């Protein structure tokens, strides 16, 4: 289901990162986009293995790793056509028969502070609400990331209490139940 995810918001166009390969987003652009987005300020709150400089080779390896584990969406600003962010999604069948979807997102540094993440996550939640499948969305936020906490709360996510599925290593888990 997630690989078919594509939606637009007022300022953003979002599409699975290989879906537009033939026309709008050829592979070399994807490598360049990953290199320009994964700067030290962006990866600071993300997994330690993602930190450091990105050569073209490392960006290609990163893309392959994400393809093996997740569905990735590219986020383009409509006005410029520039890729300004990525959404990483992984889906598991839940015990109740619906699906649990883990949501991660990152925006290029120059795009911060303009409401793009809130618009992006709200757009994704709207897209999910239109599915017939019973979905529960999850996101994890590092303790040092108040902007991301705020984005999730604005989009209707609630913190998961410690001891439920739990906060882990200073990470706060959030959930939005769309069933």
The residue ranges that bind ligand COA (CB under 6 A) are: 42, 45-46, 104-107, 112-118, 139, 141, 145-148, 150-151
Residue nearest to ligand COA (CB): 117
| In the complex, least distance from residue 97 CB atom to ligand COA, rounded to whole angstroms | 27
* Residue closer to ligand COA (CB basis): 25 or 174: 174
Q: How far is the CB of 152 from ligand COA (least distance, A)?
A: 8
- Of 4 and 44, which CB lies nearer to ligand COA in the complex structure? 44
Sheet with 83-93, edge to edge strand ranges: 6-8, 12-16, 71-77, 83-93, 99-107, 135-141, 172-177, 158-159
Shortest Å, Cβ 149 to ligand COA: 7
Alpha carbons 52 and 8: distance in angstroms, whole number: 32
In this complex, which beta carbon is closest to ligand COA, that of residue 3 or of residue 77?
77
Asked whether the CA dihedral 90, 92, 98, 100 is positive or negative, the reply is negative
Is the CB of 21 or the CB of 143 nearer to ligand COA? 143
Smallest CA-to-CA distance from 120 within 95, 90, 148, 159 is with: 148
Could you tell me the smallest distance in angstroms from the CB atom of residue 171 to ligand COA? Answer: 9
Residue 71 CB-density burial (10 A; 0-12 exposed, 13-18 middle, 19+ buried): buried
Residue spans of beta strands (DSSP E) within the chain: 6-8, 12-16, 71-77, 83-93, 99-107, 135-141, 158-159, 172-177
CB nearer ligand COA, residue 4 or residue 150: 150
Which CB, 94 or 149, lies closer to ligand COA? 149
We find the least distance from the C-beta atom of residue 142 to ligand COA, in angstroms, to be: 7
**174 strand-pairing partners:** 139, 159
**Least distance to ligand COA from the beta carbon of 151, Å?**
5
């Amino acid at each position: 289901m997630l690989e078919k995810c594509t939606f637009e918001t007022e300022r953003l166009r979002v599409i699975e990162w290989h879906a537009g390969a033939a026309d709008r987003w050829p592979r070399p652009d994807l490598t360049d986009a990953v290199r320009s987005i994964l700067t030290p300020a962006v990866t600071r709150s993300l997994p330690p293995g993602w930190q450091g400089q990105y050569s073209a080779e490392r960006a290609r390896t990163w893309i392959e790793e994400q393809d093996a584990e997740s569905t990735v969406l590219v986020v383009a600003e409509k006005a410029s056509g520039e890729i300004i962010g990525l959404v990483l999604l992984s889906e598991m069948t839940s015990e109740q028969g619906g699906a649990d979807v883990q949501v991660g997102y990152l925006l290029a540094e120059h795009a911060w502070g303009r409401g793009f993440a809130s618009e992006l996550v709200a757009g994704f939640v709207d897209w999910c609400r239109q599915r017939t499948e019973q979905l529960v969305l999850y996101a994890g936020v590092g303790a040092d990331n108040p902007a991301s906490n705020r984005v999730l709360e604005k989009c209707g996510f609630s913190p998961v209490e410690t001891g439920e599925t739990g906060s882990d290593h200073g990470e706060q888990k959030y959930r939005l139940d769309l069933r």
